[in-house]
Every structure is written in structure tokens, then in C-alpha cells.
């Protein structure tokens, strides 16, 4: 279970896929540069995790043989990653995700249907997250312009190579 926050620019999927066809190293460089540009938003997302939300989340929880918790601030911070998803049915292309299962559960508990954990953590609307979404949206203003410029430059490179 991952938590996604997206920044949308039209034509990115095609550009990234074309990079791989031209030269796989170009796609690796694109990913590295995107990660570098998105670093302020990633750091903002990491900074919101300062404490364990509920004291019981610090203990082991298992569900159907799968360990879901303990929640750890260090694991929550290290779980924030940038991912580039160029699949056909992908919602976003450049995503900032929470990979830690315990933190992803914390972020989304109770948004699809009411449950005891969601009630204890407080209301979160459908399609929203508790901490990572608002943090990334605040930090994205500085990231969007640079990301768009890099994507347009990359698209220009792809057109010239073809």
C-alpha cells in the first residue's frame, strides 16, 4: 500500500519512454535529475514525520500473517521516495510515495470507510492523506517550474534524436 502525490505535466510518459528507446542511460539521467529537482518536496514530506501518531502503533501488529506495524519515525522518513511510473494505466507519472506500510496505513486509515483506527486518527477525506499530501503540495511550487523546464528540455532532446 503506497501513498501517492502527483505533479502533472502533459506528455511526460511518452518522453520518458522515448528516452529508453533512444538510450537507456538518458532515462537513468532523467530519473536522477528528477529526483534532484524533487528533493525539496521529498524533504518537506520527510519533515512532517516527527512522532508516533498513537502509542499503540509502536508495537507489532499482524494481520493474516503479514506484519503491518510497528510505526517508526525513522522508517516513515526513509519510506518517502520518488517514483516514475510510465505504465499505460498510471494515474501520475512522477510520484512522491510513502513506501513504508505502517506509515501508508497511518496516512490513509479511514478514508474509504469508517473504522476504529481511522476514528482515532481523525477524519481524512477520500483521495487525501494526513501529512504527506499537504506537505508536498506546499513544497511543490518551487519544484514544478524546474521539473517542467527539465521535461521540455528532455522532450526537445528526444525530438532531435528522432
- List, in order, residues 6 or more apart from 38 with CB less than 8 Å away: 82, 94, 96, 143, 147
Domain spans of the chain, in order of start: 3-161
CA neighbor of 68 nearest in space, from 97, 109, 113, 121: 109
Whether the pLDDT of residue 117 is over 90: the answer is: no
Q: How confident is the model at residue 7 (pLDDT cuts 50, 70, 90)?
A: very low
Residue 40 has a pLDDT of 92
For position 3, what pLDDT does the model report?
Answer: 55
Instruction: Give the pLDDT confidence score for residue 1 in this predicted structure.
Output: 55
Q: How far apart are CA 11 and CA 17, in angstroms?
A: 10
pTM of the model: 0.77
* Cα(44)–Cα(134) distance, integer angstroms: 10
- Decide which of 96 and 110 is more confident: 96
Kindly report the CA angle at 91 between 13 and 32, in degrees rounded to 5? 50
| Helix extents (H) in the chain | 12-22, 24-37, 39-47, 73-78, 101-108, 116-121, 132-161
Amino acid at each position: 500500500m503506497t501513498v501517492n502525490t502527483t505533479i502533472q505535466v502533459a506528455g511526460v510518459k511518452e518522453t520518458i519512454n522515448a528516452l529508453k528507446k533512444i538510450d537507456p542511460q538518458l532515462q537513468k539521467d532523467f530519473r536522477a535529475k528528477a529526483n534532484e529537482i524533487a528533493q525539496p518536496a521529498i524533504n518537506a514530506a520527510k519533515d512532517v514525520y516527527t512522532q508516533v501518531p498513537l502509542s499503540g502503533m509502536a508495537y507489532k501488529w499482524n494481520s493474516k500473517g503479514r506484519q503491518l506495524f510497528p510505526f517508526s519515525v525513522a522508517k516513515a522518513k526513509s519510506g518517502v521516495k520518488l517514483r516514475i511510473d510510465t505504465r499505460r494505466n498510471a494515474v501520475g507519472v512522477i510520484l512522491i510515495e510513502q513506501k513504508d506500510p505502517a506509515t501508508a496505513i497511518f496516512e490513509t486509515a479511514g478514508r474509504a470507510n469508517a473504522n476504529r483506527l481511522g476514528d482515532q486518527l481523525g477524519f481524512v477525506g477520500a483521495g487525501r492523506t494526513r501529512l504527506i499530501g499537504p506537505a508536498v503540495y506546499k513544497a511543490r511550487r518551487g519544484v514544478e517550474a524546474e521539473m517542467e523546464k527539465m521535461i521540455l528540455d528532455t522532450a526537445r532532446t528526444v525530438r532531435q534524436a528522432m
